[in-house]
């Protein structure tokens, strides 16, 4: 016993020296989503991303092309002659624009969920080319999110920003499409490899399968589409629970975006001294009674708003080309309709050659068999085929011939 007490105690093991700071720091930062194995779902794969990406790419492509149509119809360049037919052309393209834009939202969310573990890759930046690639992805995601978010807000006519929405939406759209093109070029080998292995069984695991996820995403897209496109597709009108507008609700069965009170034209429109002034080689003016005494023509035309809703109505009034002929306008002349409204972005609109001479382009006095309601442009409004609603000028007081 005494000999055991006399045995020397074992020497303690030397404490390990701390790692130099540059080597220890990255390990210390690998917390939360940066830690190894942070994302365990078997659905964060390239193949799932490719499947959803194809759907999202198709929706963005349709949205972009129809957005260009909308932009050039609203702000046509000098070299473009905007056609007046088919009469339902803008109704179709703008309905597709808003419908595919809304459908792209769940697709974008699903795509981001599938690939977002790559945002937490370690190390965050491996090289200069890798840093450039990550920056391009940031531009891509930011521009697409901007387009979809601002477009959705535009459908409810809420503009919590200082910039001019149509211009910003147009230019950022080009940025988004350019970023997508670059991204596809960079990721083409990854896409090809994923599609080559598409028949390989997915890894075992619990939870939603790859097929289940894709079916769920498709169901979400179908749900938001069916509950919004009724604002322009008549047979689905009763299902448009999420649409910002019902196209059959409003004065005389038509929606109103800008009321006479908002435009501050009520007193001017009701003025008994109202006269339409036609300014051309042979200028003249007409009272409301004289306008009603002219030959009246009817046209069944849709009115389509940039927010995505549209509705068809029967319009009755004076053909624009008859007034232009009386004013001595050349056959290839354009015209400008000027509103009683004094302020705003659309107090006048230019009527191109095709529309000016189209027999369906009217200065309407009636809609659906009744005199125009004040909010629909009483006493006189422009209505023309294949034309955005913002350019169907209401409360017209002046018609100018443009050489």
Average pLDDT over residues 189-218: 88
Are 180 and 54 within one domain? yes
For the stretch 273-300, pLDDT in tens is: 999 999 999 999 999 999 999 999 999 9
Q: Residue 324: inside a domain, yes or no? A: yes
Are 54 and 194 within one domain? yes
pLDDT for res 26: 67
Which CATH number characterizes residue 383's domain? 3.90.420.10
Torsion over CA: 162, 167, 170, 176 (sign): negative
Share of the chain above pLDDT 70, in %: 93
Asked if residue 62 has pLDDT above 90, the reply is: yes
Count of the separate structural domains present in the chain: 2
pLDDT for res 25: 53
Final residue before a domain boundary, out of 239, 261, 289: 239
Q: Residue 113: inside a domain, yes or no? A: yes
pLDDT for res 306: 93
Q: Residue 3: inside a domain, yes or no? A: no
For the stretch 26-55, pLDDT in tens is: 667 777 777 877 788 888 999 999 999 999
Are 54 and 188 within one domain? yes
Are 193 and 332 within one domain? no
Q: Residue 269: inside a domain, yes or no? A: yes
Separation of alpha carbons 321 and 323, rounded Å: 5
For the stretch 339-363, pLDDT in tens is: 999 988 899 999 999 999 999 999 9
Position with higher pLDDT, 302 vs 31: 302
Q: What domain range includes position 367?
A: 253-402
pLDDT for res 188: 94
Are 305 and 357 within one domain? yes
**Lowest mean pLDDT segment, chosen from 56-65, 117-126, 136-145, 260-269:** 117-126
Asked if residue 5 has pLDDT above 50, the reply is: no
Q: Residue 180: inside a domain, yes or no? A: yes
pLDDT for res 366: 98
Are 214 and 335 within one domain? no
Position with higher pLDDT, 304 vs 272: 304
Q: What is the reported pTM?
A: 0.88
Are 229 and 357 within one domain? no
Average pLDDT over residues 139-161: 95
Q: Residue 47: inside a domain, yes or no? A: yes
Final residue before a domain boundary, out of 205, 239, 273: 239
Separation of alpha carbons 257 and 312, rounded Å: 16
225 neighbors 236 (Cβ within 8 angstroms): no
Query: What proportions of the chain, in percent to the nearest 5, are helix, strand and coil?
Result: 50, 15, 35
Token readout for 138 is 């940031």
Tokens 């409360």 label which residue? 395
pLDDT range class, residue 228, cuts 50, 70, 90: very high
Are 281 and 359 within one domain? yes
Are 156 and 218 within one domain? yes
Are 164 and 193 within one domain? yes
Residues whose CB falls within 8 Å of the CB of residue 122, separated by 6 or more in sequence, listed in order: 26, 30, 34
Which CATH number characterizes residue 155's domain? 1.20.950
Separation of alpha carbons 383 and 360, rounded Å: 8
Asked if residue 4 has pLDDT above 70, the reply is: no
Final residue before a domain boundary, out of 174, 205, 239: 239
Asked if residue 364 has pLDDT above 90, the reply is: yes
Are 203 and 273 within one domain? no
Asked if residue 215 has pLDDT above 90, the reply is: yes
Q: Residue 8: inside a domain, yes or no? A: no
DSSP 300-321: EEEEE-TTS-EEEEEEEEEEHH
Closest CA to 148 of 92, 90, 103: 103
Residues whose CB falls within 8 Å of the CB of residue 218, separated by 6 or more in sequence, listed in order: 55
Q: Residue 16: inside a domain, yes or no? A: no
Are 326 and 233 within one domain? no
pLDDT for res 23: 47
334 neighbors 351 (Cβ within 8 angstroms): yes
Share of the chain above pLDDT 90, in %: 73
């Amino acid at each position: 016993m005494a000999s055991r007490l006399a045995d020397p105690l074992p020497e303690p093991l030397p404490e390990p020296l701390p790692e130099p700071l540059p080597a220890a720091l990255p390990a210390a930062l690998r917390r939360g989503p940066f830690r190894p194995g942070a994302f365990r779902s078997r659905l964060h794969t390239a193949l799932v991303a490719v499947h959803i990406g194809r759907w999202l790419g198709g929706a963005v492509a349709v949205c972009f092309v129809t957005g260009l149509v909308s932009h050039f119809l609203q702000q046509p360049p000098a070299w473009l002659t905007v056609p007046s037919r088919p009469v339902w052309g803008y109704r179709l393209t703008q309905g597709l624009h808003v419908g595919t834009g809304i459908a792209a939202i769940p697709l974008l969310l699903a795509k981001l969920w599938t690939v977002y573990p790559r945002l937490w890759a370690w190390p965050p930046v491996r090289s200069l080319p890798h840093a450039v690639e990550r920056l391009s992805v940031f531009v891509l995601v930011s521009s697409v999110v901007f387009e979809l978010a601002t477009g959705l807000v535009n459908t409810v006519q809420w503009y919590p920003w200082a910039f001019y929405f149509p211009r910003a939406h147009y230019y950022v759209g080009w940025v988004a499409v350019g970023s997508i093109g670059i991204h596809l070029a960079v990721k083409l080998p990854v896409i090809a490899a994923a599609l080559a292995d598409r028949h390989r069984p997915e890894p075992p695991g619990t939870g939603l399968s790859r097929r289940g996820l894709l079916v769920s995403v498709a169901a979400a897209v179908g749900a938001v589409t069916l509950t919004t496109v009724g604002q322009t597709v008549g047979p689905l009108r009763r299902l448009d629970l999420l649409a910002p507008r019902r196209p059959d609700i409003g004065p005389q069965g038509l929606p109103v975006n800008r009321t006479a009170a908002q435009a501050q034209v009520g007193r001017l429109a009701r003025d008994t001294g109202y006269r339409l002034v036609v300014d051309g080689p042979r200028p003249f003016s007409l009272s409301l009674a004289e306008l009603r005494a002219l030959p009246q023509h009817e046209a069944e035309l849709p009115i389509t708003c940039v927010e995505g809703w549209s509705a068809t109505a029967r319009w009755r009034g004076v053909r624009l080309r008859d007034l232009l002929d009386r004013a001595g306008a050349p056959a290839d002349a354009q015209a400008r309709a000027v509103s009683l409204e004094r302020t705003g972005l659309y107090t006048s609109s230019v009527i191109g050659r095709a529309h000016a001479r189209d027999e369906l382009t009217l200065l309407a006095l009636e809609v659906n068999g009744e005199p125009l309601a004040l909010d629909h442009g009483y006493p006189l409004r422009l209505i023309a085929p294949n034309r955005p609603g913002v350019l169907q000028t209401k409360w017209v007081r002046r018609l100018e011939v443009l050489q």
